Amino acid sequence: MLRLKQVEIQQRMVEEKEKLARVEARLKMIEQENKMQNYEIVIKKVEPILAATVRDVIPSYPEQGHQWEELESFLAHHQIIPQGFCFTIYYTDEPDIDTEVCEPVTSSIPEDPKIKERQIPGVDMMATVVHKGTFISVSEAYTVILKWVEANDYQINGPTREVYLKPATNGSQTDSLTVTEIQFPIEKT
């Protein structure tokens, strides 16, 4: 019983450290508000893509790590090499985040109860912005693109995507060399 309690406390400590890191990043962002990255919003067409995916509802964004581990392990076991940038689709926001992690593939994958193969639909009008820096600071890019969508008389009409152009080292939330493209499907209001 004590071992179980020990594990629970350790898990809470990890979660609290992640929260603290996000608060510290937000404070740093506020302090450097005049030095914010210069984000460029681009509207582009995104083609459909065949992907191996794992979908789950998670309590916080960093919790998608287990989905990535499951997907990467499956692909490695079956010697399937992803063909393109991995990405996450967010269907809902907090408190229950419906998340699908995706690895592009070029051919069918073996059947599995958890890992799915599916055609991710294309999007004719996708508002995109590229964020260079930690996942903890990615919220500034979200703020910029959401303000842009509203200011330019668009509305979001589908799930958000994060495409990992340069993924974080070992899934680290604080890897400053990470490059992420945020994508919102849009339509004119």
30, 41: one domain: no
pLDDT of residue 61: 84
27, 40: one domain: no
26, 90: one domain: no
Higher pLDDT, 35 or 166: 166
1, 66: one domain: no
Judged against a pLDDT cut of 70, whether residue 127 lies above it is answered with yes
Q: How many domains does the chain have?
A: 2
**Beta-carbon contacts of residue 92 (< 8 Å; ≥ 6 apart):** 57, 98
54, 1: one domain: no
**CA distance linking residue 91 with residue 67, whole number of Å:** 15
Q: Which domain holds residue 96?
A: 36-189
Alpha helices in 32-100 (DSSP H): 65-77
102, 181: one domain: yes
Phi and psi for 92 in degrees, rounded to 5?
-140, 165
**Beta-carbon contacts of residue 157 (< 8 Å; ≥ 6 apart):** 185, 186, 187
Alpha carbons within 13 angstroms on the beta-carbon side of residue 184 total: 21
Alpha carbons within 13 angstroms on the beta-carbon side of residue 7 total: 4
130, 113: one domain: yes
25, 113: one domain: no
Per-residue pLDDT of 31-46, as tens digits, reads: 665 555 678 999 999 9
Q: What is the pTM of this model?
A: 0.79
29, 91: one domain: no
pLDDT of residue 160: 96
Per-residue pLDDT of 93-122, as tens digits, reads: 878 899 999 999 998 999 999 999 999 999
In contact, 105 and 51? CB cutoff 8 Å: yes
**C-alpha triplet 60, 26, 91: angle, nearest 5°:** 30
74, 91: one domain: yes
**CA distance linking residue 114 with residue 111, whole number of Å:** 9
| CATH code where residue 167 lies | 3.20.80.10
